[in-house]
A and B are shown apart, each in its own frame.
Chain A
Amino acid sequence: MNIVVCIKQVPNTNEVKLDPKTGTLIREGVPSIINPDDKAGLEAALRLKDAKGAHITVLSMGPPQADAALREALAMGADDAVLVTDRAFGGADTWATAYTIAAALKTMDYDLIITGRQAIDGDTAQVGPQISENLNLTNISYAEDIKVEGDSVIVKRQFEDRYHIIKAKMPCLITALSELNEPRYMTPGGIFDAYQKEIKVITRKDLDVDDSCLGLKGSPTHVVKTFTKSAKAAGTVVNNLNPQEAAEYILEKLREKFII
């Protein structure tokens, strides 16, 4: 079985800070990581490999630095890595990203494609289902557990206050949640091997694509403005009341506001 896991290299948004003067994001010094949902997707693929045997390819589209994310995935146990990179792909929105990744996937063998549900930087959760539409595959979103039975996958899908157990024939695409599992660590031997391995690079000329659908100019959506949320002005903070006084004070305020 061939599994392709799509991984995105993202800044660790937990460590992104705002510049208090300019109100912009400070990205310098923020470490890049494999997007958490994708890492869980990779771990799920590795467990399928451990149980039944599988060939796992990790694929990332991005600038040359994404190499680091791919090597980490190799060190965790992926068999092959593909970097989809070209200046022509830069500035892509989700539509153009999915178009390009799907074109790269068309050059590869796959039974199962796993993406994360959502990248923690762009945060759209759109690329997974968009890749499957481009490949005319069905998709199952929000997987918390993945099993393979014969030529089908059986997925536990998180849905509101319940779970759905959904079955689909392969090939298909699954989007994974970080709740899926606890990703394993890289092994020292794995790290060593990962740096010996060659990462396959796919550029514009390797793909059968329409240039008008690539990168910034192929993107139907444009980010025209960004800003930081103007924090709601802080109200009163009281730290000199005993608990009884505090309770009475809250009650009084709720009455003033006609909540009670």
Chain B
Amino acid sequence: MGTKTKDLWVLLETNEDGTAKNVGIELLNPGRRLADKQGGKLVSVVIGCHTDAAVKEAGVHGADQIIVVDGEEFRRYTTDAYTAALAHLLKKHAPTSMLIGATPNGRDLGPRLSCRLGTGLTADCTALDIDEASGNIAWTRPAFGGNLMAVILCPDHRPQLGTVRPGVFKKPDVCEDRAEIIREDFHVPADQIRTTLLETIREASAEIVDLEGADIIVSGGRGVGGAEGFRVIRELADVLGGTVGASRAAVDEGWISHSHQVGQTGKTVGPKLYIACGISGAIQHLAGMSSSDVIVAINKDFDAPIFGIADYGFVGNLFEIVPLLTDEIKKAKA
């Protein structure tokens, strides 16, 4: 497929209530840098139902143009409806590239689009740049369970597509809304949507856990010893105004729900402060939190790999240190 513009697109996925998912706003940040280097506009593509709130968010976070597809059939993601809508838009406007949040939906949609349009897709990127020599986007992504980083180009096919991990980039600052809004009247007939949602089940314990947006995260691992052990973690998180995270070992033990998991198969986080308690620091865990600004680790084992990336590491029993720290912070804040 050829291109008609030098524009760079960022998909803004929406929630069922028409508000924006964070990652679509975060991606306007690297998107701006790439669009400027390519010499094109930064375009936010909003798909959903009753999307005014999302459109506004994109506008005040710096999109030059917003393309909107709004309809009841887009309230919830379906592979068929979203692929049809985006394939239509990409063919019609033919931008150079599109960034998609590497959410469960984004990672379902991206591959369908790459085949429908006959172009390449780079998965789950954590850094983005322009390759100076060729002008292509240089997509950087982890592979081999986070052991290896790879830089990927898509030189001869357009648009260049990539999914980008949530939580890697910060949202751009709020600015004056100057976006030009283009509404596309595109609909997908019901009989072309081949899946039916019968039911939504929430885990009994499921809460919305906004780890990606958290400034402070206190995480517990197997060292916490049980669901009960998470109490000291939660208390520390509470006095700090932070969010509770967990390693996969703690999640697999059933001590805390999956929505708290940090790491390769959990969430990627970038808080100002990450306190790891009783977490050994396996590569898959580090993959999700190593870009935190300040990392504090508490672990009994002097040789735990987590100390290799901690700014401040403490060898000791978390059940002794954490409650005392909670008390000290309470006193300091009083």
Which residues of A line the B interface, CB within 8 A? 11, 13-14, 16, 18, 25, 93-95, 98-99, 120-130, 132-134, 138-142, 154, 156, 158-169, 172, 219-229, 231-232, 234-239, 241, 243-244, 246-251, 253-255, 257, 259-260
A165 touches B201 (CB 8 A): yes
**Given A123-B144, A129-B79, A133-B116; A243-B324 close (CB under 8 Å):** yes
**Given A172-B194, A237-B313; A224-B144 close (CB under 8 Å):** no
Residue ID in chain A nearest B77 by CB atoms: A159
Name, among A159, A223, A234, A235, the residue most crowded by chain B CB atoms within 10 Å (CB to CB).
A235
Q: A138-B195, A221-B154 are in contact. List 19 more A-B contacts (CB 8 A).
A: A95-B120, A123-B143, A124-B124, A125-B107, A126-B123, A140-B79, A141-B79, A162-B202, A163-B200, A164-B197, A164-B199, A165-B198, A165-B199, A169-B194, A220-B119, A225-B150, A229-B146, A250-B312, A259-B272
Q: How far is the CA of A134 from the CA of B83 in the complex (A)?
A: 13
Cβ distance A232 to chain B, nearest Cβ, rounded Å: 5
The 7 tightest CB contacts between A and B, nearest first, are A220-B120, A239-B315, A124-B123, A221-B120, A133-B115, A235-B311, A243-B320
Within 8 A of A (CB), among B283-334: 290, 294-296, 298, 302, 307-317, 320-321, 324-325, 327-329, 332-333
Interface residue from A128, A223, A250 paired with B325 (Cβ < 8 Å): A250
B152 touches A221 (CB 8 A): yes
Q: How far is the CA of A239 from the CA of B203 in the complex (A)?
A: 40
Q: How far is the CA of A156 from the CA of B208 in the complex (A)?
A: 20
A167 touches B152 (CB 8 A): no
Within 8 A of A (CB), among B108-167: 108, 110-112, 114-116, 118-124, 131, 138, 142-157
Q: How many residues of B contact A (CB 8 A)?
A: 85
Asked if B206 is an interface residue, CB under 8 A from chain A, the answer is yes
Residue ID in chain A nearest B260 by CB atoms: A161
B148 touches A228 (CB 8 A): yes
Q: List 10 A–B pairs whose Cβ atoms lie within 8 Å, in order of A's numbering.
A: A94-B121, A126-B114, A128-B111, A162-B203, A224-B138, A226-B148, A236-B311, A243-B316, A246-B324, A247-B328
Cβ distance A132 to chain B, nearest Cβ, rounded Å: 8
Q: How far is the CA of A115 from the CA of B295 in the complex (A)?
A: 38
Q: How far is the CA of A24 from the CA of B101 in the complex (A)?
A: 29
Q: How far is the CA of A235 from the CA of B124 in the complex (A)?
A: 29
Q: How far is the CA of A237 from the CA of B276 in the complex (A)?
A: 14
Cβ distance A151 to chain B, nearest Cβ, rounded Å: 13
A238 touches B314 (CB 8 A): yes
Asked if B181 is an interface residue, CB under 8 A from chain A, the answer is no
Interface residue from B107, B155, B314, B327 paired with A222 (Cβ < 8 Å): B155
Residue ID in chain B nearest A251 by CB atoms: B328
Q: How far is the CA of A165 from the CA of B199 in the complex (A)?
A: 5
Q: How far is the CA of A231 from the CA of B203 in the complex (A)?
A: 36
Cβ distance A17 to chain B, nearest Cβ, rounded Å: 8
B273 touches A161 (CB 8 A): no
Cβ distance B298 to chain A, nearest Cβ, rounded Å: 8
Residue ID in chain A nearest B21 by CB atoms: A160
Cβ distance B318 to chain A, nearest Cβ, rounded Å: 10
Q: How far is the CA of A248 from the CA of B312 in the complex (A)?
A: 13
